[in-house]
Structure 1
């Protein structure tokens, strides 16, 4: 394949995936009940760019979607969730999965997630003045923060497993079936 056509392919794929991500993010205004789920779906699309082109191109698409979603997405909490965690985690997840020691791999994954969620919460409370995240856990009293952290970490376990399954389905079924490709290209 000629160098210009390879670059065209990368730009086109990145553009299409970015447009799909932005469309999903825009739908948070149409379906506000999905404001926590849509950033997860949009982030999962980054698997395509990371697999078909490279990690660096996936990050470029992530940054483009992040910037545009700040201006175009009606639900700023959803766009900040995408930016702070769900947009880039599917890109870095394969790198984290390559850590040989299971305990270190698990600690790194939870460290990335918890740091992102704490920073996200601080930003939301600082910028948007939203303070009532723990209302549903008020029955726990002073342990509401701990209860929320335990709950979201349990949800993260399910999310991490789901992202791995989506990647496996893409690599083992979707790619061979629709593109005739067997092995992903090496990340750059």
Structure 2
């Protein structure tokens, strides 16, 4: 049943998940450690919006959270990391997995990750990694190690999505008769 209630429900879901994501990002901005983990956790909310409300709901959650994070958070780096990677990735993952061809899906995901890594590493390095010493001669490890970590992240993210579908989304749909 997709009517006004369904549209209003998807909009309300996007708003609630945006608020939750913003609270998590606020925690990331205030935390003395574990910031990237909290930003990654905030990136789960657009995935929940995509699953429960569709890609438009996920896009609203990502955009709303990203804009509000840049306006309200004291640490803009957390907002940028969310906006450029962790919040956007659920939408890229959704689009890539709809291709239904595993090699092409993987290529799209890796291309997105490498583009985001390039922007974050070379463009915004001073914002995110200012405390790291310059590792001269080890720059060649950035992409192979980063891609390995990303593939592990994608696998874990897929497992979390499966858990959300089985334990949260399906019971909610059964409960409201959809």
Q: TM-score, normalised by structure 1?
A: 0.81
| Greater RCO, 1 or 2 (C-alpha within 8 Å, sep 6+) | 1
State the partner residue of 2:158.
164
Q: Could you report, residue by residue, the CA deviation over 1:42-91 in whole angstroms, capped at 9, with x for unpaired residues?
A: 11111221112110121122111111101222222221111111101112
Specify whether residues 115 and 133 from structure 1 end up closer, same or farther in structure 2 by C-alpha distance, changes over 3 A only.
Answer: farther
SS at structure 1 position matched to 2:30: coil
Give 1:36's aligned residue: 36
C-alpha contact 1:134 1:148 (8 A) present in aligned 2? no
SS in 2 for 1:9: helix
Query: 1:18·1:64 contact (CA, 8 Å) conserved in 2?
Result: yes
- Distance, in Å, in 2 between the alignment partners of 1:2 and 1:55 is 15
Task: Judge which range, 36-45 or 90-99, deviates more.
Answer: 90-99
Distance 1:59 1:156, change over 3 A: same
Determine the structure 2 residue equivalent to 1:63: 63
Report the Cα offset of residue 130 of structure 1: 6.6
Shift of 1:18: 0.2
Q: Judging changes above 3 Å, is the alpha-carbon distance between structure 1 residues 155 and 92 closer, same or farther for their aligned structure 2 residues?
A: same
Report the Cα offset of residue 2 of structure 1. 8.2
Shift of 1:23: 0.3
Q: What is the root-mean-square deviation in Å for CA atoms of aligned residues?
A: 2.4
Change (3 A) 1:165 1:53: same
Unaligned runs of 5+ in 2: none
1:148 aligns with 2:142: yes
Deviation of 1:27 after TM superposition, in Å, equals 0.6
Separation in structure 1 between the aligned mates of residue 40 and residue 3 of structure 2, nearest angstrom:
33
Query: Partners of 2:129 and 2:168 in 1: how far apart?
Result: 42
TM-score (norm 2): 0.85
Q: Which runs of 5+ in 1 are unaligned?
A: none
Superposition deviation, residue 106 in structure 1 = 1.7
Q: Distance in 1 between matches of 2:132 and 2:139?
A: 7
CA distance in 1, matches of 2:98, 2:127: 39
